[in-house]
Amino acid sequence: RYVQYDFHRICGHIHFERLSILYDASKEDFSQQQFFLTNPVGEVIQVQQGIIRTNCVDCLDRTNVTQSPFGRKALESQLQQLGVFKSSETIRSSSAFDKKFKNYNMQNALKGDFVRYGKPTVFGLIPDGFNALTRYFFNNFTDGIRQDAMDLVAGRYTVAENKPLPFKLNGLEALAVSRRRCSMLML
């Protein structure tokens, strides 16, 4: 089922607690989805029945903030059903979240205070500002080379003598006997 939610109109820049409106509108569908579970012998006990997909057209951070309550509720439910958590226990620690996000994005997540505390805080603004500036620098000055290397390794760019290189050589032209060797230098 599709549920439209205008993040900017409803939450603005600081009212992330209003995501509860989206969660409440999706709660029944969400609770019916379950998760995949087997017993220690490998017999299927429960099968996942659906997914929650969140998409913001222009911002991974808003996507993550919107997805956060669903992910938190799903994990809490799973840990409760497995007996790891008591039915009243919840998740409010994001050290693992920040580490995973940094592995994915090479930078810290924005809005970490929302993930930790369920609301934005004054002390979250300072690291968010620093992280936003860091992202601006990396996105504009260093990520292109990293993406070129990933495209090469993933096979989305095939090195060919008659095909222009997708990156600058930054003075390495003299070291490259051919484009193929030069491409490998960029890795």
10-residue stretch averages of pLDDT, the chain, 187 residues long: 83 81 87 86 89 76 80 83 76 51 54 67 76 76 71 70 63 51 42
The first and second tokens of residue 89, run together, are: 């226990």
Q: How many Cβ atoms sit within 10 Å of the Cβ of residue 142?
A: 11
The first and second tokens of residue 63, run together, are: 């996507």
Domain boundary among 91, 115, 134: 91
Residue count (the chain): 187
Domain boundary among 91, 106, 122: 91
Helix (H, G, I), strand (E, B) or coil at 81: helix
Does residue 154 sit within a domain? yes
The first and second tokens of residue 103, run together, are: 């592995």
Residues 15 and 86 in one domain: yes
Q: What's the total number of domains in the chain?
A: 2
- Residues 40, 43, 47, CA angle at the centre, nearest 5°? 110
Does residue 103 sit within a domain? no
Residues 74 and 148 in one domain: no
Model-wide pTM > 0.85: no
What is the span of the domain harbouring residue 78?
A: 7-91
SS3 of the chain: helix, strand, coil, percent, to 5: 55, 5, 40
Does residue 139 sit within a domain? no
Does residue 2 sit within a domain? no
For residues 23-32, one letter each, b for 16 or more C-beta atoms within 10 angstroms of the residue's C-beta and e for the rest, the string is: beebeeebee
The predicted pLDDT at position 109 comes to 62
Does residue 79 sit within a domain? yes
Does residue 12 sit within a domain? yes
Residue 21: C-alpha distances to residues 5, 25, 66 (Å): 9, 6, 11
Among 152, 144, 161, CA closest to 184: 152
The predicted pLDDT at position 186 comes to 42
Does residue 157 sit within a domain? yes
Does residue 113 sit within a domain? no
Domain boundary among 91, 116, 133: 91
Residues 12 and 84 in one domain: yes
